[in-house]
């Protein structure tokens, strides 16, 4: 989305808020609230093709620090307009009282939202670690899918953020509820958690754009949520033998053969057509039901040969573009990214004191 289009979308999504000043008393207020809700749901039905990066400053409690404005400036300067902020709720939540939050840390999130508005970059807040669930170790003490207390804490987190950002245009800020849901017995448990959280958010701010990650670690669209007026996010790490080659957190990946793309596996070849049929097609069926789709994460770890990364990204990014969906690369700076990625087979370009993977950047600008 070009900057002028971003501004236009922001004006449309935020314009409903002006209705609250119109005469009409209670009826006027009710009409304004309904209009606000419609604006967010309209965006959720067909997401703009926002493109950008995941920023990891609050990805873990150990790494908790403020977001960096240059990341937003660079994102916009390269022609992108989206950042996803995967965050650990413990960064701002009191360990002794899960309903007490650290205002200093919350103001650092405020600052990221302000950076996004300043540089015309949409900001999507995501709970990478939520009360009761995280795809990464350590395991949470509670279980988000089965424990009422965990679900209450989860709802409270999003309710607090909804109050905090009420009035910020849906085109400028979205909520991505929980990263890569997994570990539930039935998808109905995930659906119930999402519906509760959406209700909690909408009680505070009916005009917030809401996104739910796909089921099964972001792989599967959730048709049971198609009626809810929210968007859904797929994660594109397929096949893992290409995207997570020698990733230390993936057991056995150090024993995989060095990947190629297309990837030959015994009696079949995994290629662009395989991605289209097995991964893109189910999400197109969801989009056909009036649900906006984006790719909240995708990319390849830095041990995958660079030529393979580029070939894979050209195919996957091309399919996503053809589908009309936006995306957020994991990540901007780091082992999957285009800046300071630590690849041994890249001729990096010096960029403001950092190492820029120009070939990858140029390819991404075409996707």
Residue-level pLDDT at 37:
83
Domains by residue range for the chain, with CATH: 3-366 (3.20.20.80)
The pLDDT of residue 39: 86
* Nearest CA among 337, 290, 278 for reference residue 309: 337
Among all chains, which residue has been given the structure tokens 């990066």?
Answer: 53
- What are the DSSP calls for 106-149, one per residue? HHHHHHHHHHHHHHT-EEEEEEEEETTEESSSSPPSS-TTT-HH
Candidates 207, 155, 161, 212; CA nearest to 33 is 207
Residue count of the chain, please give it: 367
**Cα(31)–Cα(35) distance, integer angstroms:** 6
DSSP string, 291-322: --EEEEEE---TTS-HHHHHHHHHHHHHHHHH
- Cβ-in-10-Å burial (0-12, 13-18, 19+) of 85 comes to buried
Which pLDDT score is estimated for 33?
53
288 Cβ partners below 8 Å, 6+ apart?
none
Rounded CA gap, 158 and 153, in Å? 9
What's the pLDDT at 28? 62
Tokens 């790490």 appear where?
A: 237
User: What local confidence, expressed as pLDDT, does residue 29 receive?
Assistant: 58
The residue ranges of the chain whose pLDDT is under 50 are 1-23
User: How many alpha carbons lie under 13 Å from residue 354 in its C-beta half-sphere?
Assistant: 17
φ, ψ dihedrals at 101, nearest 5°? -120, 150
Across 120-247, the runs of DSSP E, i.e. the strands, are 122-130, 133-134, 173-176, 209-213, 231-236
Quick: pLDDT tens for 3-38: 444 434 443 344 333 223 334 555 665 565 556 688
How much is the pLDDT for 6?
42
Q: 73: exposed, middle or buried (C-beta count within 10 Å: 0-12, 13-18, 19+)?
A: middle
Q: How many angstroms separate the CA atoms of 348 and 363, rounded? A: 15
Helix, strand or coil, per DSSP, at residue 356: strand
- Residue 12 corresponds to which tokens in the numbers above? 């449309």
Q: How far apart are CA 340 and CA 357, in angstroms?
A: 8
Map tokens 């890569």 to a residue: 180
Span between the terminal Cα atoms of the chain, in Å: 12
Alpha carbon 154 to its chain centroid, in Å, reads 18
Distance, CA of 314 to CA of 308 (rounded, Å):
10
Q: What phi and psi, each to the nearest 5 degrees, are found at residue 138?
A: -80, 160
pLDDT attached to residue 53: 98
Instruction: Record the pTM.
Output: 0.91
Q: Pick the closest to residue 328 from 301, 286, 297 (CA basis).
A: 297
Q: In this prediction, what percent of the chain has a pLDDT beyond 70?
A: 90
């Amino acid at each position: 989305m070009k900057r002028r289009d971003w501004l236009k979308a922001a004006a449309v999504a935020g314009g409903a808020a002006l209705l609250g000043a119109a005469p009409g008393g209670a009826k006027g207020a009710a009409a304004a609230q309904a209009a606000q809700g419609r604006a967010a749901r309209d965006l959720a039905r067909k997401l703009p093709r926002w493109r950008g990066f995941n920023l990891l400053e609050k990805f873990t409690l150990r790494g908790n620090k403020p977001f960096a404005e240059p990341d937003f400036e660079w994102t916009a300067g390269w022609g992108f307009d989206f950042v996803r902020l995967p965050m650990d709720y413990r960064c701002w939540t009191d360990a002794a009282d899960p309903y007490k939050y650290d205002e200093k840390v919350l103001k650092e999130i405020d600052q990221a939202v302000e950076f996004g508005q300043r540089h015309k970059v949409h900001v999507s807040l995501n709970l990478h670690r939520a009360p009761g669930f995280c795809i990464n170790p350590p395991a949470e003490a509670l279980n988000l899918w089965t424990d009422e207390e965990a679900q209450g804490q989860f709802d409270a987190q999003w309710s607090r953020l909804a109050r905090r950002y009420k009035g910020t245009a849906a085109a400028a800020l979205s909520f991505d509820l929980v990263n890569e849901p997994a570990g539930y017995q039935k998808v109905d448990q995930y659906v119930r958690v999402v519906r509760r959280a959406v209700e909690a958010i909408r009680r505070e701010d009916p005009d917030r754009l809401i996104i739910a990650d796909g089921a099964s670690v972001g792989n599967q669209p959730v048709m049971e949520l198609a009626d809810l007026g929210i968007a859904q996010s797929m994660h594109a790490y397929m096949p893992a033998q290409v995207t997570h080659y020698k990733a230390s957190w993936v057991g056995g990946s150090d024993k995989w053969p060095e990947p190629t793309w297309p990837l030959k596996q015994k009696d079949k070849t995994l290629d662009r057509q395989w991605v289209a049929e097995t991964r893109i097609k189910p999400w197109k069926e969801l989009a056909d039901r009036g649900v906006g789709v984006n790719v909240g994460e995708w990319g390849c770890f830095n041990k995958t040969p660079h030529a393979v990364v580029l070939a894979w990204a050209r195919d996957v990014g091309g399919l996503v573009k053809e589908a009309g969906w936006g995306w957020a690369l994991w990540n901007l700076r780091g082992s999957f990214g285009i800046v300071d990625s630590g690849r041994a087979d890249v001729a990096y370009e010096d960029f403001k004191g950092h190492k820029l993977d120009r070939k990858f950047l140029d390819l991404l600008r075409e996707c």
